[in-house]
Structure 1
């Protein structure tokens, strides 16, 4: 390898082809103050070091060292060159580190906060592909409702968050978002199970099992809807699904988190027909005005790129 070194004006000085080996020998000699000591450190002969130094001096047209009885001392020109090549060496090390990071060669750690259903149906597929490409990256995944996810992003505990869109604080930004279908889930034998779609009024006679917003639940019942208070309130999406499967009621939600139950027929998902002023969105969040690590940024990019295909999968599931 060699470095092209140009003069201030091309017309005044031809391009120099300076080999990294010569620069390494020069740096070692300057540090040791002796070509013999430098040669010992480099495991080469003193004559090899001397040849490389002479080659540099010939290319630059000046002396880099004064030969003294017990070694060598840098000339003024040598001190200038040493300062320059030290900066180059540092820049090359920095570049190598950044390139290693970009390639995923260095170990990184990403803390993800997500809702339970998103962690079940969306996140694993993307992480599997990402980990195959970047095997040294490790993860902490914390399942929280959306409010807890925002808190973790704000205080820096989490790098990125995945949640169904609630109102976000001012210091949180959505990196990407995709609308998810909203509807009800029922047991296969429920009275509404054969419907292609339902209206909110259709739900009034039926017992509602309510899962908290941010844990699978969706706020769709407007004020004034003739709906009794929920038959069951729970903070567990799995409990909600189990109660619905047992025929104890219906629940309003998106399919995210119960895709396998819908695909196998254990649960029936029925879209709600009314237009929703604010349809549920699956969002990727990060903290505004705070940069992500290279690993976290690359994962955020991958998650953003995978969201549209996940949206299409969910839509196809509920319209088939």
Structure 2
């Protein structure tokens, strides 16, 4: 870690390690002249020569070696200062309590949590996985710091920090005969086995409305109350299912399943939102994780 308030120390350390202005400039992604100017100004200000100019490059003088040793010590001391800063902000102890809907228990959200864990390995994570209603209630009751839920517009007592709309379509195995279609109408699927999300799954009402509006009663139906089981059946090419892109996000990214949009008009997407309770005071650790999660949500957009 370099000392952020000293540009010269960063330049000096790079030159000392490489023994060459150009290599130091390449490491710092700046011009050679900028590095040379910093070294020359420092030597003039300090009244000592820090480097010997040799045909093969630059070599530290005795004064330069003394400065290099002191800078190493200062950097080590500064790292300890940063640790104390983290302690003040609650990043060296404690836990983050948050909630997720089941569809987010894999994939990109886990990547954000892993980034947080690597940066702050001493933190504890208390993760609640449940349906949107249960997670929303835990947010309002301050049982958790924040949560990711579906369709937050139905819950006026929450503040939405970020959201993304996830389209609905047919999910199926890449080996399915319809997997190469760009879009699929329900009429094309009458003779297929439909794996249908049943209550209490949030998407059940949306899917039922789509079938009803298009007056389609599939000949072969498998109903299921668990998204993960539905995805397992789909990967075995045991049918097709109307789900949101989010429900199969990880499997789609891995090429295990494909998503094909519905040709029918008026199909409303699901909204996934990161929410907190109004006026909730969050710890510094929770704020950092929220920013990481917002970045992952933006990727989905």
Q: Given the two structures, how large is their TM-score scaled by the length of structure 1?
A: 0.58
Gaps of 5+ in 1: 1-95, 313-320
1:270 to 230, 241, 260: 260
- Counterpart CA distance in 1 for 2:99 and 2:236 is 31
- Counterpart CA distance in 1 for 2:270 and 2:147 is 16
- Counterpart CA distance in 1 for 2:258 and 2:94 is 41
Identify if the C-alpha distance between structure 1 residues 166 and 247 changes in structure 2 by more than 3 Å, giving closer, same or farther. Answer: farther
Corresponding residue for 2:215? 226
2:239 to 243, 246, 249: 249
Corresponding residue for 1:294? 284
Q: 5 Å matches for 1:56-75?
A: none
Quote the offset at 1:193 in angstroms. 1.7
Quote the offset at 1:277 in angstroms. 6.1
Quote the offset at 1:261 in angstroms. 2.7
Contact 1:163 1:284 in 2 (8 A): yes
RMSD of Structure 2 on Structure 1 (CA): 3.1
- Counterpart CA distance in 2 for 1:212 and 1:175 is 30
Q: 5 Å matches for 1:91-240?
A: 99-100=85-86, 105-165=91-151, 167-211=153-197, 217=203, 219-220=206-207, 221-222=209-210, 223-228=212-217, 231-240=221-230
SS class of match (1:231) = strand
Q: Given the two structures, how large is their TM-score scaled by the length of structure 2?
A: 0.62
Where relative contact order (Cα < 8 A, 6+ residues apart) is larger, the structure is 2
Identify if the C-alpha distance between structure 1 residues 305 and 265 changes in structure 2 by more than 3 Å, giving closer, same or farther. Answer: closer
Corresponding residue for 1:306? 296
- Counterpart CA distance in 2 for 1:211 and 1:277 is 16
Identify if the C-alpha distance between structure 1 residues 306 and 187 changes in structure 2 by more than 3 Å, giving closer, same or farther. Answer: closer
Aligned residues: 216
For residues 5-54 of structure 1, what are the alpha-carbon distances to aligned partners after superposition, in whole Å with 9 as ceiling and x for unaligned?
Answer: xxxxxxxxxxxxxxxxxxxxxxxxxxxxxxxxxxxxxxxxxxxxxxxxxx
Quote the offset at 1:104 in angstroms. 5.1
Contact 2:234 2:240 in 1 (8 A): yes
Corresponding residue for 1:45? none
Greater C-alpha Rg = 1
For residues 150-186 of structure 1, what are the alpha-carbon distances to aligned partners after superposition, in whole Å with 9 as ceiling and x for unaligned?
Answer: 1221222221111232543221222100122321111
Identify if the C-alpha distance between structure 1 residues 265 and 233 changes in structure 2 by more than 3 Å, giving closer, same or farther. Answer: same
Contact 1:160 1:284 in 2 (8 A): yes
For residues 273-314 of structure 1, what are the alpha-carbon distances to aligned partners after superposition, in whole Å with 9 as ceiling and x for unaligned?
Answer: 3454642222111112322222222221221133112x15xx
